[in-house]
């Protein structure tokens, strides 16, 4: 709505505009002769809306193709081809942005701060999760460019001790909680800032970033998909949903003959062996375990909540305002030399008090949010502990639905699969 016109407003507007008008007339544009053609500035790179729809369509298509190749067609070669195509398009062509792995932060910001989000961001966040709920982690198998890049170099995968592996799998949960916390407080996009592989997809980056990426790939030769298994925060969501999936990749196309040929084929240690008969245990052991769990759940929740609260001031420093506020204090107290930020700040209309207030507010928000984020980490770990202590009767070799990436490496190890392939070849 236009504000009503008043003389006072008009005068104020004229006063505000006066310096600008003067600045423009400092050296008025000359009347050049008619032969002079003013050069035209180019404004390249405007992206038409259909490109967004193309991206969303390609993602949906790639997910559907991955699900078909993994679940129906059971073709590792097909998945490999699809993953190369996705690496080329979503990775090298699009430079790794926008990716679902980072989109959870933008969605968090939209959720908590009401920031206007572009439709592709939300679609990129939601589609792989829905695909995981329907067909398992087919997104990880062939669509995610970061995952595919690691998948291609995993040629000498070594096994990790189960306890070490389980301990390392705590890291993604912590990173997810931190990523959500930092995005919800509009402090930083943690996953984007410290993504080690994205400089490789962009073929440019800082020396540190490229070195980290190269180191991660080198590690990936011996430890299959280290980023996906031990760092990826989005993978935590995919893992949770994949456990509830409607359909999931099976190792055998038929019934398991328990030949255990597939057991060592998985570089991600995601194949669960048949469990031995449940050992008879005295009631006391069960009660003691239950007691420990009852104690462990609140302890974990409280412990992580406290830990995150203590981390809040350090996390706040990821935001420029907090760093600047500390810098101004240093300059005032210790006489530290001025930085570009502090000089620019002094030239602006903001007062140091406003800045210190904003920094303090951010620290408080992170402390308060840290309680929830820490509690979430504690709760997830507690659930995993409970899951580990529950005895599950398993008769066959089955993929662990949470950890299985649906890559299809195990298919050809199954004798029943070999039989199926032979039958298909001979009509």
Residues numbered 164 to 223 that lie near other proteins (CB under 8 A) are 188-189, 192-193, 199, 202, 204-206, 209
Measured distance CA(377)–CA(356) in Å, rounded: 30
Interface with other proteins includes 341 (CB under 8 A)? yes
Site for other proteins in 241-280 (CB under 8 A): 241, 244-246
- Residue 146 or 154: which CB sits closer to other proteins? 146
Q: Rule CB under 8 A: which of 6-35 touch other proteins?
A: 23-24, 26-30, 32-33
Residues 399-418 that bind other proteins (CB under 8 A): none
Other beta carbons within 10 Å of 65: 20
Q: Which of 66, 67, 105, 142 binds other proteins (CB under 8 A)?
A: 105
Closer by beta carbon to other proteins, 267 or else 369: 369
Q: Which stretch binds other proteins (CB under 8 A): 67-75, 108-116, 302-310, 406-414?
A: 108-116
Residues 304-323 that bind other proteins (CB under 8 A): 320
How far the first Cα of the chain sits from its last, in Å, is 74
3-state SS, residue 18: helix
One DSSP character per residue, 287-348 reads HHHHHHHHHHHHHHHHHHHHHHHHHHHHHHTTSHHHHHHHHHHHHHHH-PPP-HHHHHHHHS
Kindly state the number of chain residues that form the binding site for other proteins, as judged by CB under 8 A: 73
Partner residues linked to 271 by β-bridges: 399
Window contacting other proteins (CB under 8 A); options: 58-66, 67-75, 239-247, 370-378? 239-247
| DSSP of 40-79 | PPP-TTPPPHHHHHHHHHHHHHHHHHHHIIIIIS--HHHH
Q: Which is nearer to other proteins, 115 or 386 (CB)?
A: 115
Nearest distance from C-beta of residue 272 to other proteins, angstroms: 16
Among residues 69, 91, 125, 179, which is the contact residue for other proteins, using CB under 8 A? 125
What does the block give as tokens for 304? 């992580």
For residue 120, how many other CB atoms are within 10 A of its CB?
Answer: 17
Among 52, 326, 396, 400, binds other proteins (CB under 8 A): 52
In the complex, the smallest distance separating the C-beta of residue 330 from other proteins, rounded to whole angstroms, is 16
Count CA within 13 A, CB hemisphere, residue 273: 10
Q: What is the DSSP letter of 93?
A: I
Cβ closest to other proteins, residue 208 vs residue 253: 208
Q: Which residues contact 170 (CB under 8 A, 6 or more apart)?
A: 377, 381
Q: Quick check: 180 and 307 in contact, CB under 8 A?
A: no
CB nearer to other proteins: give 72 or 193: 193
d(CA 82, CA 92): 14
Q: 3-class DSSP state for residue 138?
A: helix
Selected range binding other proteins among 121-129, 146-154, 214-222, 372-380, rule: CB under 8 A: 121-129
Containing H/E element for 398? strand 398-399
Instruction: Considering only residues 350 through 369, tell me which ones interact with other proteins, judged by CB under 8 A.
Output: none
Closest CB 4 distance from other proteins, rounded Å: 22
Whether residue 98 is preceded by a cis peptide bond, meaning omega within 30 degrees of 0, is: yes
- Min dist. Cβ of residue 147 to other proteins (A): 18
Among 95, 303, 313, 352, binds other proteins (CB under 8 A): 95
> In this chain, which of 6, 34, 41, 423 binds other proteins, going by CB under 8 A?
41
Which of 44, 276, 335, 427 touches other proteins (CB under 8 A)? Answer: 44
Exposed, middle or buried: residue 72 (CB in 10 Å: 0-12, 13-18, 19+)? exposed
Binding of residue 149 to other proteins (CB under 8 A): no
């Amino acid at each position: 709505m236009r504000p009503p016109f008043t003389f006072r407003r008009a005068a104020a507007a004229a006063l505000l505009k006066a310096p600008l008008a003067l600045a423009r007339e400092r050296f008025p544009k000359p009347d050049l002769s008619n032969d002079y053609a003013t050069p035209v500035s180019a404004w390249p790179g405007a992206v038409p809306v259909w490109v967004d729809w193309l991206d969303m369509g390609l993602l949906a298509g790639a997910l559907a193709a991955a699900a078909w190749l993994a679940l129906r067609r059971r073709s590792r070669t097909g998945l490999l081809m699809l993953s190369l195509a996705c690496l080329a398009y979503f990775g090298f062509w699009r430079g790794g942005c926008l990716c679902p792995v980072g989109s959870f932060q933008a969605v968090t910001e939209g959720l908590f701060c009401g920031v206007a989000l572009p439709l592709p961001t939300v679609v990129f966040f939601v589609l792989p999760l829905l695909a995981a709920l329907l067909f398992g982690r087919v997104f990880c198998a062939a669509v995610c460019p970061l995952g595919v890049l690691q998948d291609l170099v995993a040629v000498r995968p070594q096994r990790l001790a189960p306890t070490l592996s389980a301990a390392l799998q705590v890291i993604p949960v912590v990173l997810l909680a931190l990523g959500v916390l930092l995005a919800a407080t509009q402090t930083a996009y943690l996953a984007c800032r410290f993504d080690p592989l994205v400089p490789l997809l962009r073929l440019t980056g800082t020396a540190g970033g490229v070195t980290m990426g190269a180191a991660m790939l080198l590690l990936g030769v011996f430890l299959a998909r280290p980023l996906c298994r031990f760092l990826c925060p989005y993978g935590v969501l995919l893992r949770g949903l994949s456990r509830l999936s409607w359909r999931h990749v099976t190792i055998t196309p038929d019934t398991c003959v328990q030949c255990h040929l597939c057991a060592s084929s998985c570089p991600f240690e995601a194949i669960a062996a048949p469990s031995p008969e449940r050992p008879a245990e005295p009631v006391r052991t069960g009660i003691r375990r239950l007691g420990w769990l009852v104690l462990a759940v609140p302890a974990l929740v409280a412990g992580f909540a406290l830990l995150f609260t203590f981390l809040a001031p350090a996390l706040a420093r990821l935001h420029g305002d907090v760093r600047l506020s500390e810098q101004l204090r240093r300059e005032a107290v210790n006489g530290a030399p001025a930085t570009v930020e502090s000089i620019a700040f002094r030239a602006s209309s903001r007062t140091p008090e406003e800045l210190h207030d904003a920094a303090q507010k951010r620290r408080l928000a992170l402390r308060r949010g840290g309680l929830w984020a820490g509690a979430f980490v504690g709760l997830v770990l507690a659930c995993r502990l409970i899951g580990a202590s529950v005895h599950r009767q398993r008769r066959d070799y089955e993929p662990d639905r949470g950890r299985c990436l649906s890559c299809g490496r195990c298919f050809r190890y199954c004798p029943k699969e070999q039989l199926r392939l032979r039958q298909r070849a001979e009509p």
